[in-house]
Amino acid sequence: MLYNYFIPISLYISIEMVKILQAVFINQDIDMYDEESDKPTHARTSNLNEELGQVDTILSDKTGTLTCNMMEFIKCSIAGTAYGQSVTEVEKAMALRKGVPLGDEIEAGGHKEKQIEESPHVKGFNLKDPRIMDGNWIHEPNKDIIRDFFRLLAICHTCIPEVDETDKVSYEAESPDEAAFVIAARELGFEFYKRTQTSIVIRERDPNQNVADYQYRKYELLNVLEFSSSRRRMSVIVKEPEGRILLFSKGADSVMFTRLAPDGREFEEETKRHINEYSDSGLRTLVLAYRVLDEKEYKNFAEKFRTAKISGSVDRDEQIGEAADSIERDLILLGATAVEDKLQKGGTRMH
């Protein structure tokens, strides 16, 4: 600290100029360009070169070495019906090992169907099923449940939308799983369009119209019950434009199935069977459920939740958890999602 007085200000400035110049070299380094995402390196801080210079060893677990951490929404189970005809990389590898090549016919809904012709690939979305694509879900017997399922995907998350000058929406997400959910909702006609501190706007495509006729639905965002490793679930409480207060929740099957209401388990057995099938195919699954709250019940919870959040006691997190636990009950099952974590090249052979 004493030597700091002997270093002239001009030397500090010279060092900062060198750092900025080195950051320019980093931005232009062809070896740090990523072809897959078509993005060069972008140094956001002048001391990045110092940080990189300290890296000596990179440690990774086996999951990180096998997978790319690139999630794709590939299958789902809604109201006891399985949707999604795509074949996972694990299924391809298993079939290849058994010597049974997978043809262009696959099981879907109890009967074989031809795979859909390849359409332009959307990053994060690989669901192929004509029964729910392009607004065809409106003709399914449980169309109301399917609609609520898609709305939950579009609302229950912490993503931030970014709208460009062409009105195209992209998403910033905490995890690739959440990005895959909102992208899937968008591709299925329920586009997460705008978020503020107090509201969420969904742009829904009218399935009854042949043209892209959008309807904007603004939900009042009341509470976000965030995901944690102990809770193993996440919920949001919103108020519909029609005035109903809804709790949307998604989480691990071991937690969610224990929180279903007696009259909300209509499709439980079918959903559990589909989840087991998805897990056998190497997919990551989440259970989706919801419930309608009355005004009095929500007001009691809101007061309890607010008191817990402003509490300065050491057990503040426990109080917040207890408040969330009290409202995340008596849920009605909607279905389950199945997301594929893409394997790296050679990963299927290692798997």
Torsions phi, psi for 7 (to 5 deg): -90, 120
Residue 351 to residue 344: CA distance in whole angstroms: 10
Residue 321: both structure tokens together: 């958890």
Q: Is the Cα dihedral 106, 178, 337, 345 positive or negative?
A: positive
Provide the residue count of the chain: 351
The DSSP H or E segment spanning 338 is strand 332-343
Residue whose entry in the numeric block shows the structure tokens 């402003």: 310
First CA to last CA distance, the chain? 54
Residue 235 to residue 255: CA distance in whole angstroms: 13
Residue 15: both structure tokens together: 């060092």
Torsions phi, psi for 349 (to 5 deg): -70, -40
Q: Is the Cα dihedral 298, 301, 305, 311 positive or negative?
A: positive
Residue 112: both structure tokens together: 């074989």
**Using an 8 Å Cβ cutoff, are 132 and 83 in contact?**
yes
Please confirm, yes or no, whether 61 is among the known catalytic residues.
yes
Residue 313: both structure tokens together: 């006691």
- The pairing of strands 199-205 and 169-172 is unpaired
Residue 225 to residue 324: CA distance in whole angstroms: 7
Q: Which of 38, 56, 61, 294 is catalytic?
A: 61
Beta bridge partners of 285: 338
Q: How far is CA 186 from CA 47, 126, 154, 238, 279, in A?
A: 39, 13, 8, 19, 25
- Percent helix, percent strand, percent coil in the chain, to nearest 5: 40, 30, 35
Residue whose entry in the numeric block shows the structure tokens 């956001």: 44
Residue 41 to residue 19: CA distance in whole angstroms: 16
Residues annotated as catalytic (active site), given as ranges: 61
